[in-house]
Amino acid sequence: MHNKQVNTSFWMVTLPFNQIFIILQLFFYAVAILGNFVKFHGLLGKIFYLPTYLVNSNLATFVGFHSFLTNKQLHVWERVRR
C-alpha cells in the first residue's frame, strides 16, 4: 500500500478545467456583489439581476435558518381575531 499525500488546496488546482470553473464561480459572486450596489437598466440590468437574486436568496435562507436554530426569530406577524 502506498502512502500518498493528497493536496486539496484551493490554489493548487491543477486541471485547467477546474481552474476555469473556479474563475467563473468567483466572477459570478463578484457580479452578485456588484449587483447589490449598482442598479443597471436594460440588458446589463438583466445580466446582474440573476446572480444577485440567487446569492441574496441563499443568504436570506441561511440567515433565516440560523435564526430558527438559535431561537432568535423575530415575530412580526400578529394573529388576527376572527
Delimit the domains of the chain by residue range.
Answer: 31-61
Count of C-beta atoms within a 10 Å radius of residue 53? 12
- Compute the average pLDDT of residues 58-77: 86
Q: What is the per-residue pLDDT across 73-82, written as a single tens digit (0 to 9) for each?
A: 777 777 888 8
In this prediction the pTM is 0.65
Residue 29's region, left for phi above 0, alpha for psi from -120 to 50, else beta, is alpha
